[in-house]
A and B are shown apart, each in its own frame.
Chain A
């Protein structure tokens, strides 16, 4: 009986192995699907954006079948760890803290934050060298997305600010406009596209320089995967390199921005 089971098991394993040669391996990719222009649904309901393009480019090079899973941001890493999907391609920054729980490919986009506030703001928030002035943030109501690199930066650098945590990026803009918060910090590319360039963003502007301290913002955005898969990781890295060197990654960025979102040195 036992012998027969193991024969069956071996046969099954063989079948799986063989079919693996013919059929592409499935990649389940987690993303928010609401984070324009990186991963979002367009008016036709199609999932598009920079992250989506990267996912498709990598899958094409590796030869994998893609399946997208939409997941709210604060459950993204638990869902990856619980095997709800295999990769996170969701503009997730590579940080020390996250590396304790998961693994990342090399970066495919840099990671920065910038403050958005009213044009009429009467406080000077940054000095002439571009460093924040902590006392001027005191009592200021700051809207941030929960558990993002921006919250860590604020906790450490500007602990006196009065931080409110939001569950979505849209809510940040809404409450800034409604006057519940004085400033918000988010990705300036996104703030420009979704808010500042729109009608509802009139009267608001980017304040101070972009912040990119590597200690908080990491080296950039990478593809997240569960730990213990060095072989998959090196295949992802090789695929990203190919996208960078062929100029394809830049073409993804140029669909949405007048500039590229990566450093060329990542390709070498």
Chain B
């Protein structure tokens, strides 16, 4: 087994040309997923069964099925229905990237809402009682006490989910999208050199993950600056 270094030098720039698409999938899905997660979270903690139950079912369905299957259902399944092809959503669902973003957002939204809920539930009861003692309304307590603390508590788990979303974007290559993985798969199929290409690919993803990890580390440090104990 020879390791063709020249091939790596030649193909890494090609793979990097897909970085824009990978980033686009990551950023848009993470953003839309977060909005969805907040909505689901509010439904979950609303205390009203008719909001809580649908959210629970949604989360169960999306955490209970493989993301690849969800992508296939959105991409190949939806267009089977005439009314979807005639709907206002078709311009989005017609595009492979639109389908990938829809599927990734729906999926990550389910996970992130549970992460956020963990953060909300982790807020000390005593703090909320103190808020009540000061005469704060439920809404004020949520905005000024629960939210800042919950965000801090949820952040480490959330960064985990963003990193996992980064790697899920690779699945978009199965629905014709030429992201980094899609380009890599085409190069492998042309050059028959899976080791060189996929190992370079793995290193690029790891570098990406490192950047994400460091950024979240900085945000964590910033948000936790008052909570640090003097050694």
Contact = CB atoms under 8 A, between A and B. Distances in A.
B187 to A, nearest CB: 9
Interface residues on A, range: 20 to 34
Interface string A77-89: 1100100000000
Contact of B96 (A74, A97, A101, A180): A180
Given A164-B176, A180-B94, A81 B79 contact: no
Interface string A3-18: 0000000000000000
A97 B96 CA distance: 30
Nearest to B190: A147
A179 interface: yes
B189 to A, nearest CB: 3
Given A74-B185, A174-B76, A179 B192 contact: no
Contacts of A146: 185-186, 189
B176 A166 contact: yes
B182 A81 contact: no
Nearest to B84: A178
A119 interface: no
B188 interface: yes
A80 to B, nearest CB: 9
A232 interface: no
Given A146-B185, A174-B76, A178-B79, A78 B192 contact: yes
Contact of A165 (B76, B79, B95, B178): B178
Contacts, number: 44
Interface residues on B, range: 10 to 19
Interface in B157-183: 174, 176, 178, 182
Nearest to A100: B192
A171 interface: yes
Given A97-B190, A165-B186, A174-B76, 6 more contacts: A78-B192, A101-B192, A146-B185, A147-B189, A178-B94, A180-B79
Interface of A: 73-75, 77-78, 81, 97, 101, 143, 146-147, 164-167, 171, 174-175, 178-180
Interface of B: 76, 79-80, 85, 94-96, 174, 176, 178, 182, 185-186, 188-190, 192-194
17 contacts: A73-B189, A74-B185, A78-B188, A78-B193, A78-B194, A97-B190, A101-B192, A147-B186, A147-B189, A164-B176, A174-B76, A174-B79, A175-B176, A179-B79, A179-B85, A180-B95, A180-B96
